[in-house]
Structure 1
């Protein structure tokens, strides 16, 4: 299988002169094309720093991050901006939609920035809106939408550019249980039908149970990995809880 993401021996330090914090401690892993990877860990574990480094928001101290055969740790500022625009899709906990634009216009903006020809924009937006079940709200503004609808619009914006990798940061954190389930069902559809490669950071075991594989981060290191395999989502959920228990952790710290 083709690797979309390859993280090689990365470390991240903050501070200096006797007050150094190692946020990431020699982490390595790979993500295959079409995989749905979850990253979990307690507050302060390094999972957010890891996501920030992969998303080019932050830089590593040592090591390499390779996305779609490009080593992003060696890119210059202008190249990083282009790479982020062309190769990555972002889904945030707080949606990050522009209030003055409709759902359609929010999604179209991502394509406009990429200089996609206007005649192809409409078709691409309607296709992804249909996949995510938001066709009926394309003309609504964010204030007219529920939290779940906003997050699915944000998901459409992330996927419509056909990115190599979608990065989701606590995507269900601001949603109720019903909206969370609808969003995660949408993620599953994007992953299965469009072969979208998704890397999702979450503190929630139910959310994580939708992933194919989970990396647990603690003290800046990968301390465990779970592969869903042929398990049902309920079975995988139970295994997630078991890992925390077996490691002697408090499930409340992680989930």
Structure 2
């Protein structure tokens, strides 16, 4: 039986004052099981980024509950949230968020050093993950010496190196050209299958979304639709994604 990694129960997120309230998230519930690769799509302003921010503990829900494993995030104080984020969550951001003064090796190692892991263990893990993500040749380079695709794969290595319960990717291909985006998505797909990494990716890009096994479509703060890849090829799944995007209204390049 699959282990439940993420459980979102009736969450709502309101912004504004009494007379001018915006419902960014309107009663959303869903689950993510261990080893799933879930995509989240929606128009700008649909609530998808707010949803990711609430799950990542960057933002707090107005009501409802979020569980990662058996931990209810809505009850954690700020100190426990910081520790939880370090130990249980991995992040891949659109703009890489690497430290310019550290090499790729040091950027990846930092996540483990904060957790006070042994030097030999850190080295072994970095060598292993760098081979999986094909970044061995850039480990001694600084971010300014790397391509965008290499930087994002270093960021992916940093996200997975601590063996987090959940990896949250926010528009990970947004700053990449199409070739680099494909290499990154192939790498994320590999992490998902070979390491059973659980990934939740917010994206506006149907091509990126086609790498996921399940897509949640968000509209006006609610789940509008959900599709599961099943035995579809990636091309077939891509076509189904486009169909839902069209249902949401307009051309996907304009809407997403």
Q: Verify same fold: TM over 0.5.
A: yes
TM-score tier after normalising by the smaller chain length: over 0.9
Q: How far off its partner does 1:17 sit?
A: 2.4
Q: How far off its partner does 1:68 sit?
A: 1.4
Q: Note the 1:193-212 alignment, pairs <5 A.
A: 193-212=194-213
* Aligned pairs, number: 255
Name the CA distance, whole Å, in 2 between partners of 1:245 and 1:93.
25
Q: How far off its partner does 1:247 sit?
A: 4.1
Name the CA distance, whole Å, in 2 between partners of 1:189 and 1:156.
12
Aligned to 2:58: 57
Name the CA distance, whole Å, in 2 between partners of 1:225 and 1:254.
18
Aligned to 2:162: 161
Residue 135 (str. 1) matches residue 131 (str. 2): no
User: Which secondary structure does the structure 2 equivalent of 1:203 belong to?
Assistant: coil
User: Which secondary structure does the structure 1 equivalent of 2:227 belong to?
Assistant: strand
Name the CA distance, whole Å, in 1 between partners of 2:29 and 2:100.
39
Aligned to 2:77: 76
Aligned to 1:35: 36
Cα RMSD of the aligned pairs, angstroms, is 0.8
Aligned to 1:233: 234
CA deviations on 1:221-251 (whole Å, 9 max, x unpaired) are: 0000010000000000000011122344442
Aligned to 2:110: 109
Q: How far off its partner does 1:253 sit?
A: 3.8
Q: Quick check: 1:40–1:254 contact (8 Å CA) kept in 2? A: no
Q: Scaled by the length of structure 1, what TM-score is found?
A: 0.98
Name the CA distance, whole Å, in 1 between partners of 2:121 and 2:241.
42
Q: How far off its partner does 1:89 sit?
A: 0.2
CA deviations on 1:147-192 (whole Å, 9 max, x unpaired) are: 0000000000000000000000000000000000000000010000
Aligned to 1:147: 148
- Structure 2 unaligned residues grouped into runs of 5+: none
Runs of 4+ in 1 over 3 A off after TM superposition: 246-250
